[in-house]
Chains A and B, each alone.
Chain A
Amino acid sequence: KAGVTQTPRYLIKTRGQQVTLSCSPISGHRSVSWYQQTPGQGLQFLFEYFSETQRNKGNFPGRFSGRQFSNSRSEMNVSTLELGDSALYLCASSLGVGTITEAFFGQGTRLTVV
């Protein structure tokens, strides 16, 4: 069974640009969550999608957005990049229904804004 796949693994962007990150969850999983990890703030929840609908949202500015497709794949977009957006972005995949068991994480996308 394939794990959670995030692409690309590494990305360098210039301040002011926009970026799109992709996440393919484990087959059969319908919930995808996104987290931002930085040395200063640690792991912070961005948003969760389930069946193409945003189910929950963290405390991030509107520059951060996401979506989920009918095949459960998800993308997150960050517009007007700032230096502070440099981080490891992690995607987590879960069944999304029934008793909560666990979230499976991808290896992340390392975004560097210069």
Chain B
Amino acid sequence: AQSVTQLDSQVPVFEEAPVELRCNYSSSVSVYLFWYVQYPNQGLQLLLKYLSGSTLVESINGFEAEFNKSQTSFHLRKPSVHISDTAEYFCAVSLSGAGSYQLTFGKGTKLSVIP
């Protein structure tokens, strides 16, 4: 079975400062990796995904994540955060080639951007 660990439950950061949200996974087979964001009283929105190919993936709003197979990590980074980035972020995996869309999520990291 696969599992996801998000090492920080809460991350406060000042506006315009860089941030890294950490995610490690455990799986005996190949996985796909995702970052989702959740704003208060909302569902989840996909931020970015790694399926194959380049290990560095980027989102349209300045976030990026790098897949590191040897360290089984998929950390999320942003060089300069904005107030609007305040939200909860979830790292998730699904088994590649399993024919199922089941996602296994980490516990989430609450990012608070301080003005």
B42, B99, B101, B104: the one within 8 Å of A103 (CB): B101
Q: How far is the CB of B98 from chain A (nearest CB, A)?
A: 8
Beta-carbon contact of B51 and A100 below 8 Å? yes
Question: Which A residues from 1 to 58 make CB contacts under 8 A with B?
Answer: 4, 6, 31, 33, 35, 42-45, 48, 55-56, 58
Query: Does A92 count as interface, using CB distance less than 8 angstroms?
Result: yes
With known contacts A100-B94, A100-B96, A45–B43 Cβ distance under 8 A: no
Query: Does B7 count as interface, using CB distance less than 8 angstroms?
Result: no
- Chain A residues touching B, majority SS: strand
Beta-carbon contact of B102 and A106 below 8 Å? no
Residues of B within 8 A of A42 (CB): 105-108
Q: How far is the CB of A111 from chain B (nearest CB, A)?
A: 14
A6, A33, A102: the one within 8 Å of B102 (CB): A33
Measured CB to CB, the nearest residue on chain A to B104 is A45
| Residues in A lying within 8 Å of B, measured CB to CB | 4, 6, 31, 33, 35, 42-45, 48, 55-56, 58, 90, 92, 94, 96, 99-108, 110
